[in-house]
Structure 1
Amino acid sequence: MTTGTLASLNERSRDIFKHIVDSYLATGEPVGSRHLSRLLPRALSPASIRSVMQDLEQLGLVYAPHTSAGRLPTQTGLRFFVDAMLQVGDVGDEERRRIETEVRAASESRSFEDALGEASSLLSGLTRGAGVVVTSKDNDRIKHIEFLRLDAERALTILVGEDGNVENRVIATSPGLPASALVEAGNYLNARIRGRTLAEARTEIETERRAAETELDSITERLVDSGLASWARLQGGSRQLIVRGQANLLEDLTAIEDLERIRLLFADLETKTDVIELLHRAESGEGVRIFIGSENKLFSLSGSSMIAAPFRDSTHRIIGVLGIIGPTRLNYARVVPMVDFTARVVSRVVGGG
């Protein structure tokens, strides 16, 4: 199953899939075609709904837990729902005041560790999940990275750590960045990133880019000085090499080799620039991480999910993670903003804000 296959779902299929997930999150029970026909805003027969459900099952988004016609979302289906269809709510004013007041009070009257414990307890009570806090988070070493387009201005970054953990971050992408650039960036990084942190990979690629720019300047300077080419400055500040005297080039094998090297360097620099920007966004990206079922090795057998967010010190360095562990049918729309807000409060307390 590919992202393109998921994106090709028509509106009717998405509506039916969303109702299956919503019903599962609310009740934990499979939902059948007859029940769905009463819930859907459009008039569809149970037979039509069953046909769509079979298509969703073939895509790996839903499954039948037993011989009945009811369906439940698979782990893949939940991941697709969370990444592409979840409409996140907001934290109520009363809950915001309670979290802010009690976390700050614990920090001021006791200690930072007590503030973390208070934040964990509050999240547990408000979400009916198990609160978890991990501090002194090291910068994880990456085994694999992938970028998947969500829409024109957002992409999902999937980070697989050497310890087997999977982390997902939604990042903003530059307007007009083609989907092919995301694929190329992932391929480029996976040939280099294994065993490195995001920061280490970005530093290494920036060094390679500077070396390529130096080589490009050297080669083009030689061609321009020889009168075979000139630089033109285009709109936006970028430069283009204009080749002159093509007949003379045919007699100068070195010049032909230089032009081919320049072409390769331009392509290489374009790739490196895209990769560095994506790495920077993934490295500094804010937001909540959602781990569903076996995506995290801790939950591969228990079928639990975790919603977690980093908190930072006054220098914006990640120093810990807090979150909630619960069943895969957590109320994601409610828990995600609550975890995010609590992490921001803890960051402000740490930073003295």
Structure 2
Amino acid sequence: MTEMTSQTIVVKIGTSSLTQGTSSKIAIATIASLIETLTELRSLGHRVVLVSSGAVGVGCARLNLAERPRKMALKQAVAAVGQGRLMRIYDDLFSNLAQPIAQILLTRRELMDRNCYVNASNTFQELLDLGVIPIVNENDTIAVDELKFGDNDTLSALVASLIKANWLFLLTDVDRLYSADPRTVPDAKPIELVSNQDFKQLQVEAGGSVSGWGTGGMATKLAAARIATSSGITTVITQGKKPQNILKILQGEALGTRFEPQPQTDNARKRWIAYGLLPMGKLYLDEGAAHAVITQGKSLLPAGILKVEGEFIATDAVQICDRQGQEIARGLVNYSNLEVDQIKGQHSEKISSILGYNGVDTIVHRNNLVIED
């Protein structure tokens, strides 16, 4: 094998790849191959993180449940049963290869708090420096609907951004991205490479999970690829049953679908604003304000705001949209939705007289604002 420069690599494997067909039984051969591949990556000097689904599926198998539970409380209980069993499988197999691992369970709440976000980043870096492979999953047992990642594709992209990864591999039940589902459309066209410009025009039929045991589909993988590539991370969708292909792809073989990264920013705070936070509302801008924000790097002032949506308080994240509702930026607001609604369309010098106290001139300062790519 040719020598490769050390890279930071995040690998996400979904429930459809970890289980056998439409059942919830663990695909031991796939897991064993995955573990051999990740351990070989470590032996080559790469820093590796595994984002693994499967806790609910393994819990269902352990409890002899015929289908994935829909009720939140039951799903969380089943995840609690499955998570420990899943980690035991990983620990037993990794131990056979003398590869230490760690378990990290996250909820969106941890990434929304700036201090927790920084602490999580530091923990990952220490583990990677120790040669450990962190195994990450959403903490399904305590996550609430409004703060869930929604799927582990999104979680893997956020983790990749958090640790400034070079690569994100999304292992799934098809060999690459197609123009339509190849299982139902025989003439669907394979897509090998997606450039930055191609991504903006990309049109594919992206359905949901086929196995019935997973929560994601191709649509969630495209959303994850968009997050990761925006953070400067090369992203690959490839066959989950053949994890050894990761090594071949790193050596340059054209397997799977590769998404080219955008130039990476080193501003960790802005990556947190863009991807770590859930926007709590929307601000609609007139043409002048939108132009100033996008092309001139200006802060957002109250004069250019046409409409306010949602309920938020100062320091919450909001989507900043043009008149038509297209998101153009995201940022941290200095006022609540009620206050912004009072001062929208007004010049900054009138803020104090309208609100009755001396506030800052900006609704969103440019240092807390991230432009949509």
TM-score by length of 2: 0.24
The one of the two structures with greater contact order (alpha-carbon pairs below 8 A, sep at least 6) is 1
TM-score by length of 1: 0.25
- Which has the greater radius of gyration? 1
More helix by share: 1
